[in-house]
C-alpha cells in the first residue's frame, strides 16, 4: 500500500513561534545572539530552553539591544558559525544598520521576523511595516502564511543562504500573533531528516581560518563601492531564484509539501484576483471559493518570496487577469503601496493591461474580514464590467469612519 509522505509524518500542535524555535533546534545552530521583543520573543526563548535542557549544543548570547543582537550574529557568522536570531518591529528597525553589514559581507544568517507594526503610536500587533522596512537591505526574504510554513521555510532559508554560490542572509517572515501565537497542526520532520536536508555547515572565508586570512567590512569609497553593489550583490540576487526553486523541489521530495516562488490559487481562469501576503492569503482563498459560487471568477496570488522580487513570475501569474487588487499591510505615507508599485512595474510592458487597484488594510493588527474581501472582489468585478477602475485607485479598507482614499 502506498502512503502519502505527509501521512507518515508526526503532527504536532504548534504556534508559529514554537515551530520556528524547533526548526532552529533541528538545524543545530552554533550561535543565537538575541534581545527579546514582542511577539518574537518565544522563538529565541524556545531555543534558549532547548539549550539549557541539553537538547542541543551551541551558544545563546543575551545582549543589550537588537542592534547588538545582529552585531553578535555578524561576528559569529564571520567567524564561521551557523547563526540565527529573531526580532520584530522596533527591534527590527534598530537592527537595520547592521542588516546592510551582514548582506554586504555575505554572511548567511537566518533572521526570523515576526511582523509587527512600527510606532508611533505604539502597537504590539501584526502588520507588515517592518517587513517593508527591510526590503532593500540585501537579504533574501521568505514569507510564511501559517505555522507549518514558519517551520518549513527555516530549513529552506538555511539551505539557500549557506549555498556557496549565494552566501546571503535570509529572513523568514510570519504575521505577529496571527501566525506566531496561533496553534495549528504542523507536520514535523525527524531530527535526522531535518539536519540531513540542511546539511553540515561548511564555512567559507571565515576569520578563524588562519591558513586563508580574509578581511571583512572593508572600506571601498568611489573606487569599488559601485562595482560591489551592482556587480557582486545584485548579480548574486539574480542567482537566488534557481537555488530557491531547487530547495523547494528537494523539500517536496523529503516532506511531500510543495512550495512555489509565487503561490497561485484558482488562477487558471480567474478574471479578478487579490495579491497579498501572510495570513491574508488563506482568508482570501476561502472568499475566492465563495465568490466563484456567485459567478465571479476570483483567484488569489500569494508571494512566497519577497526579495528578490519575483518580477517575471508575478507577470506570468497575472497575465490573463482583468482586474487586480494589491493588498498592502503597511501604510505608504503618501505614496502607493509596495505591492501596488511592484505589480504595476511587473505588468507595465506586458501586452495585456489589467485594471490595478491598491488597498491598504490591517494596520496595527486590524482584522481583514471575509466581508471586506467580498466587497473587494465585488468592486473588482465592477471594474471589469465597466472597463475601468470605478473606485479610488488607492484606498484604505476596514478603517472606521467615512471611506478613506488617497489617490
For residue 391, the model assigns a pLDDT of 84
The string of pLDDT tens digits covering residues 162-207 is 999 999 999 999 999 999 999 999 999 999 999 999 999 999 988 8
Q: How buried is 193 (Cβ within 10 angstroms: 0-12 exposed, 13-18 middle, 19+ buried)?
A: middle
CA pair distance 277, 149, nearest whole angstrom: 13
Whether 392 is covered by a domain: the verdict is yes
Same domain, 244 and 134: yes
Whether 57 is in a domain gets the answer: yes
CB 324 within 8 A of CB 344: no
| CATH number of residue 385's parent domain | 3.40.50.920
Quick check: bond before 39 cis, omega within 30? yes
Q: Is the pLDDT of residue 404 over 90?
A: no
CA dist., res. 22 & res. 30, Å (int): 15
Please indicate, yes or no, whether residues 114 and 177 belong to a single structural domain of this protein: yes
User: Given a cut of 80, is residue 142 above it in pLDDT?
Assistant: yes
Same domain as 73, residue 171: yes
Mean of the pLDDT values across residues 236-244? 94
- Reported as a single tens digit per residue, the pLDDT across 143-155 is 999 999 999 999 9
- Write the pLDDT tens digit of every residue in 326-341: 999 998 888 889 999 9
pLDDT at 86: 98
342 and 270, same structural domain? yes
Give CA–CA dist 1/16, Å, rounded: 33
Q: How many domains does the chain have?
A: 2
Pinpoint the alpha helices (H) of 199-349. 221-227, 234-238, 240-255, 280-293, 311-317, 338-347
What pLDDT shows up at residue 217? 81
Residue 235 has a pLDDT of 85
198 is a domain residue: yes
- For residues 65 and 172, state if they share a domain: yes
| Domain's final residue, options 212, 234, 255 | 255
Q: Is the pLDDT of residue 249 over 80?
A: yes
Q: CB-based contacts of 13: which residues, under 8 Å, 6+ apart?
A: 183, 184, 185, 186
- Same domain for 196 and 327, yes or no, is no
Statement to judge: residues 246 and 352 lie in one domain: no
Q: In the block, which residue shows the cell 540542511? A: 198
340 found inside a domain: yes
- Domain hosting 10: range is 5-255
- Residue 404: inside a domain: no
Looking at the domain assignment, is residue 235 inside a domain? yes
- Residue 90, domain member (yes or no): yes
Residue 407 lies in a domain: no
Are residues 280 and 358 both part of a single domain?
yes
Q: What is the pLDDT of residue 240?
A: 96
pTM greater than the 0.85 cutoff = yes
The whole-number average pLDDT for the span 4-12 is: 78
Does residue 334 or residue 301 have the better pLDDT?
301
Amino acid at each position: 500500500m502506498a502512503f502519502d509522505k505527509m501521512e507518515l509524518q508526526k503532527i504536532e500542535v504548534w504556534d508559529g513561534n514554537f515551530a520556528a524555535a524547533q526548526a532552529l533546534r533541528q538545524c543545530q545552530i552554533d550561535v543565537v545572539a538575541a534581545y527579546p521583543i514582542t511577539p518574537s520573543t518565544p522563538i529565541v526563548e524556545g531555543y534558549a530552553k532547548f539549550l539549557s535542557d541539553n537538547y542541543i549544543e551551541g551558544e545563546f548570547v543575551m545582549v543589550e539591544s537588537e542592534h547588538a543582537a545582529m552585531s553578535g550574529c555578524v561576528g559569529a557568522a564571520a567567524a564561521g558559525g551557523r547563526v540565527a536570531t529573531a526580532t520584530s518591529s522596533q527591534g527590527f528597525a534598530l537592527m537595520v544598520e547592521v542588516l546592510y553589514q551582514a548582506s554586504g559581507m555575505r554572511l548567511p544568517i537566518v533572521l526570523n521576523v515576526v511582523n509587527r507594526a512600527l510606532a508611533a503610536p505604539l502597537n504590539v500587533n501584526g502588520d507588515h511595516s517592518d517587513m517593508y522596512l527591510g526590503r532593500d537591505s540585501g537579504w533574501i526574504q521568505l514569507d510564511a502564511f501559517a505555522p507549518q510554513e514558519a517551520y518549513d521555510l527555516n530549513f529552506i532559508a538555511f539551505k539557500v543562504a549557506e549555498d556557496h554560490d549565494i552566501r546571503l542572509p535570509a529572513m523568514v517572515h510570519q504575521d505577529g500573533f496571527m501566525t506566531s501565537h496561533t496553534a495549528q497542526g504542523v507536520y514535523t520532520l525527524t531530527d535526522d531528516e531535518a539536519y540531513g536536508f540542511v546539511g553540515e555547515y561548511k564555512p567559507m572565508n571565515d576569520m578563524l581560518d588562519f591558513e586563508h586570512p580574509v578581511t571583512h567590512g572593508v572600506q571601498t569609497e568611489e573606487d569599488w563601492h559601485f562595482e560591489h553593489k551592482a556587480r557582486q550583490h545584485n548579480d548574486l540576487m539574480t542567482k537566488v531564484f534557481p537555488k530557491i526553486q531547487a530547495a523547494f523541489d528537494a523539500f517536496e521530495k523529503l516532506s511531500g509539501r510543495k512550495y512555489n516562488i509565487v503561490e497561485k490559487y484558482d488562477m487558471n481562469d480567474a478574471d479578478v484576483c487579490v495579491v497579498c501576503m501572510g495570513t491574508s492569503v488563506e482568508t482570501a482563498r476561502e472568499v475566492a471559493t465563495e465568490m466563484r459560487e456567485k459567478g465571479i471568477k476570483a483567484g488569489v496570488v500569494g508571494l512566497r518570496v519577497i526579495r528578490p522580487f519575483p518580477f517575471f513570475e508575478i507577470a506570468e501569474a497575472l497575465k490573463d487577469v482583468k482586474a487586480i487588487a494589491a493588498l498592502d499591510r503597511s501604510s505608504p505615507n503618501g505614496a502607493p503601496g509596495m505591492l501596488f508599485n511592484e505589480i504595476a512595474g511587473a505588468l507595465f510592458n506586458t501586452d495585456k493591461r489589467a485594471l490595478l487597484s491598491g488597498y491598504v488594510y490591517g494596520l496595527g493588527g486590524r482584522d481583514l474580514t471575509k466581508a471586506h474581501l467580498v466587497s473587494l472582489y465585488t468592486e473588482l468585478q465592477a471594474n471589469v464590467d465597466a472597463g475601468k477602475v470605478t473606485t479610488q485607485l488607492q484606498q484604505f479598507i476596514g478603517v472606521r469612519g467615512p471611506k478613506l482614499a488617497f489617490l
